[in-house]
Structure 1
Amino acid sequence: MRTLKSAKAFERVFKKGRRGRSPFVRVSVLACEGPEQPSVAFVAPKRLGNAVYRNRCKRVLREAARASGLPLLGYDVILFATDRTHDASPEELRRGLRSALAKAGVGALRGDE
């Protein structure tokens, strides 16, 4: 899975992208420009807690993204942890991710068929 790393790429997706949210995850999605490969980023803000807690949130998000078929062809996606991400079950998180992506205007994910 290719991840967004540069500040410039984050800023582009965050400023120009469409947003969606659920109680378990927030997303920003932007269509890729040109022949770039789609990317995913995982963010857990410091306000959530210490490093151990934030890293757990990102691990949980990473697994939900993998199970849902991210990265989506043609899209860069940033996933933001919320205060409920840490304690969410894998199924709750997948449903929340699907819901947030649908609100951002992205089509079906793996498992939606």
Structure 2
Amino acid sequence: METIKSKRDFEEVFSGGKRVSHRLVRATVLKCNEGDLGKVAFVAPKRLGNAVYRNRCKRVLREAARACSLPAQGTRIILFATKATHESSPDEVSEALRSLLKRCGING
């Protein structure tokens, strides 16, 4: 799974991406050239809680992304954890993620 690491890539997704929300996860999606490899980033803001709490949220997001076969080719996606992410199973989050991707026109 290729991840977004550079500040420039994050800013590119934030400035040109589409934002979609669900109770369990928020996402910003940017469609790129079809030939580009897809990239994904997992974000859990500090306001959610301590490091253990945030790491659990990111683990759930990573597992849900794997279940949805992310990253899709030609897309860059940033996934944000919410308070509800922590108490949810990866299966629940993957269903929420599939509905968000469908709204963006991405098959997940």
Is the shorter-chain TM-score for this pair beyond 0.5, marking a shared fold? Answer: yes
Correspondence for 1:81: 81
Give the stretch that moved more between structures: 3-12 or 93-102: 93-102
Residues 71 and 77 in structure 2, CA contact (< 8 A), matched pair in contact too: yes
Q: Give the 3 Å change call, closer, same or farther, for CA 72–34 of structure 1 in structure 2.
A: closer
Higher helix share: 2
Correspondence for 1:5: 5
Correspondence for 2:59: 59
Structure 2 Cα separation of the partners of residues 4 and 90 of structure 1: 21
Residues 34 and 74 in structure 2, CA contact (< 8 A), matched pair in contact too: no
Q: Any idea what SS the aligned residue of 2:28 has?
A: strand
Compute the displacement of 1:107 (Å).
2.5
Structure 2 Cα separation of the partners of residues 63 and 40 of structure 1: 12
Structure 2 Cα separation of the partners of residues 108 and 3 of structure 1: 19
Percent identity of paired positions between Structure 1 and Structure 2: 56
Q: Considering only aligned residues, what root-mean-square deviation do their CA atoms show, in Å?
A: 1.3
TM-score (norm 1): 0.89
Residues 20 and 102 in structure 1, CA contact (< 8 A), matched pair in contact too: no
TM-score (norm 2): 0.93
Compute the displacement of 1:57 (Å).
0.5
Aligned residues: 108
Residues 34 and 73 in structure 2, CA contact (< 8 A), matched pair in contact too: no
Compute the displacement of 1:33 (Å).
4.2
Q: Which consecutive aligned stretches of 4+ in structure 1 deviate over 6 angstroms post-superposition? A: none
Correspondence for 2:97: 97
Gaps of 5+ in 2: none
Compute the displacement of 1:19 (Å).
1.1
Structure 1 Cα separation of the partners of residues 3 and 96 of structure 2: 21
